[in-house]
Amino acid sequence: MIKKNRSRRTWAGALVVAVCGTVVGLGGCASPAEEEPAGPPTGVIDTSTASGDITYWSWTPGIEPLIEEFERTHPDIHVTLVNAGQGDPAYAKLRTAMKAGSGVPDVMHVTLDTVASFGTEFLDLREYGASEIADRYLPFALEFVSQEGAIRGLPTDTGPMGIVYRKSIFDQYGIEVPQTWDEFADAARKLHAANPDVFITNLAPNESGPILSLSSQAGSRPFQAGSETELQIALNDPGAKQFAEYWEPLVAEGVVSVDPAYTDTWYKSFADGRYASWITAAWGPVFLQGIVADTAGDWRAALLPQWEAGQNISANFGGSAAAVPRLAPNKPAAAEFAKWYASAEFVAKWRAENKETFPAIKAYLEDPEIVDRESAFFGGQQVVKDVFLPSSQMVPADYQFSPFQDYVSAQISAIIGGALTQGGSLTEAFDTLQETVVQYATDQGYTVTTR
């Protein structure tokens, strides 16, 4: 049976945090962990006969059918579903419970970019058989939840990026879908010159995810862990500088808006056609449908523009994982649930149909029921097949997040976001960001190298 303890949330609000991660990070940050070595496990615990009660903290609304199916196929395990908050509030409660040593959930819904922040506070699921399914995941998704070989969570969905745009606006002003970022800049200037009330897109100053993701497409690799206490930081590397040098003039010229995301102005600008496109991820379409339903059929999706013609490089923005805290009361049953929730065909198809999230399992991206689905909102376009499936195959698998990503996200919003809204130099802002994060990491006890 399902035991529920859920606060009321809007679907749009829950989706934003569930798949796109922290907008402005507020949670506590992790110091180098010492509790557990990251070497390969010496034995694997069989979870197939696990039993008992477990608690799952998740803010994704409407997932009761998934819990019911798990309990049907695992009659000896009973799940209590708890909404402990969305994103940072949930992480803060988890850290409080961990510190107290009680009240820790068995399984935790966590965004992909936050897994590293908990480090060894999450179990290495290789000890519970996760290695047997590890090769089923998209390489970049598995990289996001791995630390020195340890698997600290199992990906449930991902966010390969693309552009969604209003076809009628592009057609009205003779805008071709940009294939390169140079073409995108030309289109931005052409569109705004033709209609000063319309912007080709909005670059939100309070959303760190797209800034990091688009920088990664340009080659930025801001973090590289050497060990649990060694960290290489390069937030102002050439990829980040390329991002800065590209967007700074567009913002200065006023041809790209810089409104904060998830505000009334932001929502209204999509509905009114003030934004002609949105640089987003595979979860974007279902979110968009909830705020601009009156424009259904007018939207289309396309791959990200490339820095150089002929390249095939994309980026990921968002996604979630199921993790098992080190202090989970029922670890075997929790691990069995996490493995099922993050790999079962039933879950992947249900989520694709009901939430339109993008699977993290490679095999499900060959399933016609998922890939060939036509979207009425996108004028009958097969957006997964045309855009987000190929995008997922172009996401580099060598990107790492920091062990204190919530702090980094907050600093990006404050420093880079501040430069966007106040007209400062983005290049200098990335240098300031680098200095700030290096100092923080050093203060936290990490041995930091830079490049």
Distance of alpha carbon 172 from alpha carbon 159, whole angstroms: 30
3-state secondary structure the chain: CEEEECCCCCHHHHHHHHHHCCCCCCCCCCCCCCCCCCCCCCCCCCCCCCCEEEEEECCCCCCHHHHHHHHHHCCCEEEEEECCCCCHHHHHHHHHHHHHCCCCCCEEEEEHHHHHHHHHHECCHHHHCHHHCHHHECHHHHHHCEECCEECCEEEEEEEEEEEEEHHHHHHCCCCCCCEHHHHHHHHHHHHHHCCCCECCECCCCCHHHHHHHHHHCCCCCEEECCCCEEEECCCCHHHHHHHHHHHHHHHHCCCECCCCCCHHHHHHHHHCCECEEEEECCHHHHHHCCCHHHCCCEEEECCCECCCCCCCCCEEEEEEEECECCCCCHHHHHHHHHHHCCCHHHHHHHHHHCCCECCEHHHHHCHHHHCCCECCCCCECHHHHHHHHHHCCCCCCCCCCCCHHHHHHHHHHHHHHHHHHCCCHHHHHHHHHHHHHHHHHHCCCEEEEC
The per-residue pLDDT for 15 is 47
Pairing assessment for the beta strands 150-151 and 447-450 based on DSSP bridges: unpaired
pLDDT at 288: 85
Q: At what angle do helices 64-73 and 345-354 cross, to 10 degrees?
A: 160
Contact status, residue 345 vs residue 364, Cβ threshold 8 Å: yes
Distance separating alpha carbons of residues 214 and 216, to the nearest angstrom = 5
Q: Are 230 and 449 in contact (CB under 8 A)?
A: yes
| Measured distance CA(57)–CA(62) in Å, rounded | 13
pLDDT of 35 reads: 42
pLDDT of residue 170: 98
Q: Which fold is adopted by the domain 2-158+319-369?
A: D-Maltodextrin-Binding Protein; domain 2 (3.40.190)
CA distance 272 to 265: 10
- Distance separating alpha carbons of residues 423 and 326, to the nearest angstrom: 45
Domain locations in the chain as residue ranges = 2-158+319-369, 160-315+399-450
Q: What local confidence, expressed as pLDDT, does residue 87 receive?
A: 83
Separation of alpha carbons 204 and 208, rounded Å: 8
Taking alpha carbons only, the member of 104, 44, 112, 170 closest to residue 330 is 104
Residue 41, pLDDT score: 57
Phi and psi at residue 146, to the nearest 5°? -110, 145
Give me the residues paired with residue 322 across strands: 109, 154
The whole-number pLDDT of residue 20 equals 53
Structure tokens belonging to residue 286: 């279902």
Looking at residue 451, what is its pLDDT?
Answer: 83
Q: For the packed helices 238-253 and 181-194, what is the interaxial angle rounded to 10 degrees?
A: 10
Q: How far apart are CA 269 and CA 259, in angstroms?
A: 10
CB of 142 closer than 8 Å to CB of 156: no
d(CA 262, CA 284): 13
- As a whole number of angstroms, the distance between CA 339 and CA 323 comes to 9
Q: Which residues of the chain have pLDDT under 50?
A: 1-15, 17-18, 22-31, 33-38
Whole-Å CA distances, 121 to 23, 118, 326: 23, 5, 5
Q: Which two tokens stand for residue 451?
A: 């490049």
Q: For the domain 160-315+399-450, what is the CATH superfamily, name and number?
A: Periplasmic binding protein-like II (3.40.190.10)
Residues 6+ apart with CB under 8 A from 29: 117, 403, 404, 406, 407, 440, 444
Say yes or no: do domains 2-158+319-369 and 160-315+399-450 share a fold: yes
The type of residue at 308 is E
Report the alpha-carbon distance of residue 223 to residue 296 in Å, rounded. Answer: 40
